[in-house]
């Protein structure tokens, strides 16, 4: 080969090597970043449709359970105060119970309910053999000690999985119940065919209800887990850089449209757990309109994780009923 041709070939090969090892490319996700004027538009993960599928499955399981045991699973919800959002959540949970053949009980208490009065209600439900799951809707009004209330719920009826005993079992990978929202996130990933084993998952938010348990669940040795997990919070340095390193980005911080397109790796899976009431309506913690042009998979708000949270609550209540009658 003449000198000029060899020089051109060497430069072509060098360009290929540089392209193949470009650190900006996704790692084994099968999705490449936009090139030139091309645009990646995310596939929307429909949590509402998936939750309806899971509820249909649960309805069959509940019908079989009732036929075999003559016991109707029952969820008791306790609402303190008049918070509009909490009233909607409880009403949706009651409706979901009715649709799947499960019984529900609703205890509404005034805003000025004392700790002693609330504990009395919880203790009564603990002793009620017809109640299999207990849900104390949060947030509670100021002056009420949430951790103490959650700890007062019988662990075998704690279908939110907030009791310290259930948290400990989760950490040891021996869960009695999986917390509802993190379990919904995992089911969304599993049933959407998102590979978690070996993936880098970044969880933005370290709350006891979502952030921490989500990280614990996804790092366990199990199906829909086995991920390498990073948890970010308000003190995390270079947060945009950490987010961009994620194959799967899960956001739960309660700040409207906080995560923007420049914080997302092209082709990444983005799960928006946040739900925020604004003048423009309900929005998530992710800037949906900009991120959908970058992400490979993306959940909407509403209609993403929220419906799955309720489906997982029903699943936990059925499991609690099975535990309590020994089946």
Choice among 158, 160, 285, 287 that is catalytic: 160
Residue ranges, CATH 3.40.50.720, the chain: 179-307
Active-site hit among 137, 183, 186, 187: 137
Helix axes 180-191, 47-69, angle to 10 degrees: 110
43 is catalytic: no
The Cα 236–Cα 47 span in angstroms is 29
179-307: what fold?
A: Rossmann fold (3.40.50)
pTM of the model: 0.87
Place of tokens 């036929």: 67
Q: For Cα atoms 53, 57, 61, give the angle at the middle one, nearest 5 degrees.
A: 165
**Which residue among the candidates 2, 46, 83, 93 is catalytic per the annotation?**
93
Q: Digits of tens for pLDDT over the chain (327 positions)? A: 444 444 444 434 344 333 333 333 333 343 434 433 445 689 999 999 999 999 999 999 999 999 999 999 999 999 999 888 888 889 999 999 999 999 999 999 999 999 999 999 999 999 999 999 999 999 999 999 999 999 999 999 999 999 999 999 999 999 999 999 999 999 999 999 999 999 999 999 999 999 999 999 999 999 999 999 999 999 999 999 999 999 999 999 999 999 999 999 999 999 999 999 999 999 999 999 999 999 999 999 999 999 999 999 999 999 999 999 997
- Using the structure block, give the residue that is written with the tokens 């952030």: 211
CATH 3.40.50.10860: which residues of the chain?
Answer: 70-175
Query: Catalytic annotation on 67?
Result: no
Cβ of 33: how many Cβ atoms within 10 Å? Answer: 14
Residues 70-175, CATH architecture: 3-Layer(aba) Sandwich (3.40)
CA-CA-CA-CA torsion for 100, 105, 110, 116, nearest 10 degrees?
-130
| Nearest by Cα to 134 from 112, 110, 114, 106 | 106
Would residue 160 show up in a list of annotated catalytic residues for this protein? yes
């Amino acid at each position: 080969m003449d000198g000029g041709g060899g020089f051109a070939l060497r430069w072509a090969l060098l360009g290929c090597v540089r392209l193949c090892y470009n650190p900006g490319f996704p790692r084994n996700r099968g999705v490449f970043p936009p090139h030139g004027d091309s645009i990646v538009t995310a596939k929307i993960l429909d949590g509402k449709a998936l939750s309806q599928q899971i509820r249909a499955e649960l309805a069959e399981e509940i019908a079989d359970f009732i036929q075999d045991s003559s016991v109707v699973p029952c969820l008791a919800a306790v609402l303190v105060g008049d918070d509009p959002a909490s009233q909607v959540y409880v009403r949706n949970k009651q409706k979901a119970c009715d649709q799947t053949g499960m019984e529900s009980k609703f205890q509404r208490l005034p805003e000025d309910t004392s700790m002693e009065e609330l504990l009395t209600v919880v203790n009564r439900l603990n002793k009620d053999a017809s109640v299999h799951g207990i849900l104390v809707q949060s947030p509670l009004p100021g002056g009420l000690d949430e951790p103490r209330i959650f700890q007062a719920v019988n662990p075998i009826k704690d279908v939110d999985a907030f009791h310290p005993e259930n948290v400990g079992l989760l950490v040891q990978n021996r869960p009695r119940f999986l917390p509802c929202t993190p379990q919904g996130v995992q089911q969304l990933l599993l049933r959407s065919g998102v590979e978690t084993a070996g993936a880098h998952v970044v969880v933005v938010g370290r709350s006891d209800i979502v952030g921490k348990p989500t990280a614990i669940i996804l790092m366990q040795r199990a199906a829909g887990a086995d991920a390498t997990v990073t948890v970010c919070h308000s003190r995390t340095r270079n947060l945009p850089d950490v987010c961009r390193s994620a194959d799967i980005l899960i956001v739960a911080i309660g700040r409207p449209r906080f995560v923007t397109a420049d914080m997302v790796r092209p082709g990444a899976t983005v799960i928006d757990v946040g739900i925020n009431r604004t003048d423009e309506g309900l929005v998530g913690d992710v800037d949906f309109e900009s991120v959908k042009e970058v992400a490979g998979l993306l959940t909407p708000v509403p209609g993403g994780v929220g419906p799955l949270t309720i489906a997982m609550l029903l699943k936990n209540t059925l499991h609690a009923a099975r535990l309590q009658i020994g089946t």
